[in-house]
Amino acid sequence: MQIGIFDSGVGGLTVLKEMAQSFASEDFYYLGDTARLPYGTKSPETIRQYAEQIMDFLAARKVDAIVIACNTASSQVPETLWKNIPVFNVIEPGAEAAVKATRSKRLGVLATRATVRSNSYTDKIHSFDKDIQVFAKSAPLLVGLAEEGWVDDPITDAVVARYLEPLLKNDIDTLILGCTHYPLLVSAIRKACGDKIRLIDSGSAICGKLAEKMSLKASEPTYINEIHFHATDLTAHTRILAQQILKPLVITEFDIVHL
C-alpha cells in the first residue's frame, strides 16, 4: 500500500517515522510544503487551499490513503474522502488518546495559533467527555526552532518553558503536543514539564487508527519501506534534517515539486 502524508515542513516526519516503524510493509509519499511554511500563522482559507493542492498532488500519485500529519491543516480539513481516497487527520486520535490518559480531567494543548483558534482540540475532546477542562496555548516560535534543528539548546529550553508556564499553572496532568513539530523538541518539553505530566504525541496516536481503518498489520521489518520525500523547496539543510529525523530509516528519494 502507498500512503501519502503531508505537513508544512519536516514536522510530519515524526508521524511518518512512527508509521513506517509500525507498518514495515507500506511505502510512503511525503510532502513538506517548505516553500510556504509556517502554516500556523496563516488564515483558515489559505491553509485549506494549500492542503487541497497537496491532496491533489498525492491523489495524482495514486496513494491509497492520505494522512494529514499537520495539526494546523487537520484543523481546517474535515476528515473525509478526497477524490475517493480516505483522509486521516491527527486531531481525533490525539484528542482520544489524551481523554484516555487524563486522570484529573485537566488537559493542556500546545499548538500553533491557527490550531488553537480553530478550537478543534477542545471541540473534539468535549465530544468524548464534556467534563474535561481544556487549556490551550499557542506557541508560534517553536516551529522555527524545530525546522532550524535547535532541538537541544538553552534558547529552545527557555522559549518552551515560557510557553508552557500558563498551562502548568493550570495544573494539567496531560499535555497534547498539538503540532507535529513538537515531538522534535520533546527533551525541552520534558525538562519544563517534569516527569509527572503525560505527553500525547499524535504520531503514535494515529497508527492505531490507520491500522484499524486500512487493515494495516504490524509486520516484522523484513521489508524496507520506500520513503519518497518531496518538498516545495529543497535545500541541503532540509535534506540533512529530514534524514536525521527519520534515522535509522532511510529516505529512498528526494524530489522538489511545484504545486
Q: What does the alpha-carbon distance between residue 82 and residue 4 come to, in Å, rounded to a whole number?
A: 12
**Nearest Cα to 66, choosing from 2, 121, 146?**
2
CA distance 135 to 231: 34
Q: Which residues contribute to the site for ligand DGL (CB under 6 A)?
A: 7-9, 11, 37-40, 70-72, 112, 115, 143, 179-181
Angle at 11 between CA 256 and CA 219, to 5 degrees: 90
CA atoms within 13 A on the CB side of 64: 11
Q: Which residues are catalytically annotated?
A: 70, 179
**Is the N-terminal amide bond of 38 cis, ω within 30° of 0?**
yes
**Contact by Cβ (8 Å): 198, 173:** yes
Q: How far apart are CA 55 and CA 63, in angstroms?
A: 10
Cell 514539564 belongs to 193
Cis upstream peptide for 44 (omega within 30°): no
Which is it for the CA torsion 150, 152, 155, 160, positive or negative? positive
Please, what is the minimum distance in Å from the beta carbon of residue 115 to ligand DGL? 6
> Going by C-beta distance under 8 Å and a sequence separation of 6 or more, which residues neighbour residue 175?
107, 108, 109, 110, 164, 167, 189, 193, 197, 198, 199, 200
